Amino acid sequence: MSIVRAENIKKRYIQGKVEVHALRGVSVNIDQGEFVAMAGPSGSGKTTVLNIIGGIDNPDSGQVIVDGNNYSDMTQSKLAELRLNKIGFVFQAYNLIPVLSAEENVEYIMLLQGVSAKERKKKARAILDDVGLEGKYSRRPSELSGGQQQRVAVARAIVSNPAIILADEPTANLDSKTGESLLDMMKKMNREKDVTFIFSTHDNMVMEYAKRIVKLKDGQIENDIIKDK
């Protein structure tokens, strides 16, 4: 069953007088439970694709359907609700609210969703344990390493059982060892909780983790490889 369907997405940006064609017609289908890497050189359009799938950027043309919701029929407000309930984001950096502890950062999303205080606490701790942060619940982001911060971000993304998690270069700010262990963790979550992950990277080593690699070049899909294994 396809959880993400993007059809012929086009996007250009006007920067000063220059027109940049960030996406020139991208179509992609992603099924529930996939672990997909968006690859490609800098400027190829990875971030733009993820943002459009995540509903924080609008395509100029084309359609995006996530978990049965067609974005072109939706108001900004409905899109925000969809993001809150169905989409998890992990960015390259600055993922966390600095004044909240790890646990509170994870709880915050559930608070917005209206989950009760007791359940919030229980779920937040359980998921932090899952991503390998047991005992670091009350640390502020500044008291966590870069890798640990990214783990909190993944925990926050997973905790509300979203349809997809979009991670834009989640390992870019980490050294390779920390990056690998983050990906191991993501993969474990993908396997155990059947969450769909779509992440971008230009690091070949990181790509190795993916079961499927969508390669972008100049705003178009160059190839789409599903590894059997």
Residue 35 contacts which entry, ligand ATP, other proteins, Mg ion, none (Cβ below 5-8 A, type-dependent):
none
Of residues 2 and 85, the one with the C-beta less far from other proteins? 85
> Which of 9, 109, 163, 210 is in the footprint of other proteins by CB under 8 A?
109
Of residues 74 and 172, the one with the C-beta less far from ligand ATP? 172
First to last CA, the chain: 20
| Helix residue spans in the chain (DSSP H) | 46-53, 76-86, 102-113, 117-130, 146-159, 176-193, 204-207
Q: How far is CA 88 from the centre of its chain?
A: 6
Q: Does 226 bind other proteins (CB under 8 A)?
A: no
Positive or negative, the Cα torsion across 89, 99, 160, 175?
positive
Rounded-to-integer distance, Cα 88 and Cα 137, Å: 20
The residue range among 41-49, 61-69, 111-119, 150-158 that interacts with ligand ATP, by the rule CB under 6 A, is 41-49
Least Cβ distance, residue 108 to ligand ATP (angstroms) = 27
| Cβ proximity of 54 and 47 under 8 Å | no
The residue range among 44-52, 72-80, 110-118, 151-159 that interacts with ligand ATP, by the rule CB under 6 A, is 44-52
Instruction: Classify residue 100 as exposed, middle or buried by CB count within 10 Å of its CB (0-12, 13-18, 19+).
Output: middle
Least Cβ distance, residue 93 to ligand ATP (angstroms) = 12
Least Cβ distance, residue 108 to other proteins (angstroms) = 7
> No. of H helices and E strands in the chain?
7, 10
| Residues 183-212 as x/- pattern, contact with ligand ATP by CB under 6 A | -------------------x----------
C-alpha torsion angle, residues 107, 113, 114, 115 (rounded to 10): -50
Binding interface with Mg ion (CB under 5 A): 47
Binding interface with other proteins (CB under 8 A): 47, 51, 54, 56-57, 76-77, 80-85, 87, 89, 91, 94-95, 97-100, 104, 107-109, 111-112
Binding interface with ligand ATP (CB under 6 A): 13, 15, 20, 22, 40, 42-48, 202
